[in-house]
Chain A
Amino acid sequence: MMKKLAKNYIISAVVFAIFILLLVIFPQNKTIIVNNSLKYLFEMILILPAVIVLMGLFNVWISKKTITTYLGKQSGLKGSLISVFLGALPTGPLYVAFPLASSMIKKGARISNIVVFLSAWACLKIPQELVELQFLGWKFLIVRWTLTVVFVVIMGVVIEKVLDRDIAPA
């Protein structure tokens, strides 16, 4: 963990060195490069600390137990929508959700709900959506959310059908 962190800081230092080098070699491009970097830097300073704090709050207030209590066997649209909601709440990278999903399947959760849950965890996370709102706007966000929910629910049903057919005795 610490090693990976150190590696990432070293990489960013290297990128910074390249950045400075390019500014020295191509002084005519300096204004565009610096202005654009600064523009995005300011926008990120405006929003990232707030979002990271919000992620911390979600982490503390929404326990894994909350998720496992509600992510269950409800079938149909209701089950899917609950799974979207539960997947969008907790924070953390997707690989954190794999063991959770695995234990939920063992406890009898429907495959379709698990697929929807993992997808929502990946790309509909509420705190990170605030960053999408800031940088890409309302319209993009709403259309992407709606389309994603629709297709992810269909995907859940398809994967469940395929896996159930395999598990069923021939």
Chain B
Amino acid sequence: MDISNTGVMINLFVLVSIAISLYKSREKTILAAKNAFKSLVGMMPYVIIIILCIGMMQGFLSKEIISTILGENSGFTGVLIAGGLGAILFIPAIVAFPLTASLIDSGAGIMIAAAFITTLTMVGFLTLPLEIKELGKKFTLLRNLLSFVIAMVIAIFIGVLV
């Protein structure tokens, strides 16, 4: 399926959702619009930074460089690097997907992409204190550690399957 078709379908789907929501409750839909506006304002800096970084990355780092560090042949080291970066960085998932796509565009392997996305979303280095406070040290450390491990496993499987 063509990329732009997916985009159009997603927009249609959201339009239908808005219509259903409006039909069911006008107040709730207005509240949803306010929520959306707030998250848009919060999301904008990330969007701007990611878009600019994608351009600079593709302008200065050649495909050879990126595919040496993060390509299919970078092997398990590349997966570990991507997984480690994902665990430390704090990037909202919805801008992380385009960033990952641009990495693949410039020569990164699909395995690396999967490792990065999985640790980025599931392992939260910066939110560890918060998680420990709510769920305890043992639970938090186990969850983050095992999430990192399964991210590596998922990445390897995706490398084989996709």
Q: Find chain B residues with CB under 8 A from A134 CB.
A: 3, 6-7, 10, 97
**Majority secondary structure of chain A interface residues (helix, strand, loop or mixed):** helix
Q: Find chain A residues with CB under 8 A from B162 CB.
A: 139-140, 143
Which of B68-76, B77-85, B119-127 forms contacts with chain A? B119-127
A53 and B36 contacting across the interface, CB-CB below 8 Å: yes
Judged by a CB distance under 8 angstroms, whether A8 is at the interface is yes
Complex CA gap A101/B134 in Å reads 8
Query: Chain A, 36-52, contact with B by CB distance < 8 Å: what is the 0/1 string?
Result: 11101101101111111
B15 to chain A: closest residue by CB = A50
A37 and B100 contacting across the interface, CB-CB below 8 Å: no
Query: Chain B, 29-45, contact with A by CB distance < 8 Å: what is the 0/1 string?
Result: 10111111001111111
Which of A12-20, A68-76, A78-86 forms contacts with chain B? A12-20
Q: Find chain B residues with CB under 8 A from A67 CB.
A: none
Which residues of A approach B to under 8 Å, CB–CB?
A: 5, 8-9, 11-12, 15-16, 18-19, 22, 26, 29-30, 32-34, 36-38, 40-41, 43-44, 46-57, 59-61, 93-95, 98-99, 101-102, 105, 111, 115, 118-119, 122-123, 125, 128, 130-136, 138-140, 143-144, 147-148, 151-152, 154-155, 158-159, 162-163, 166
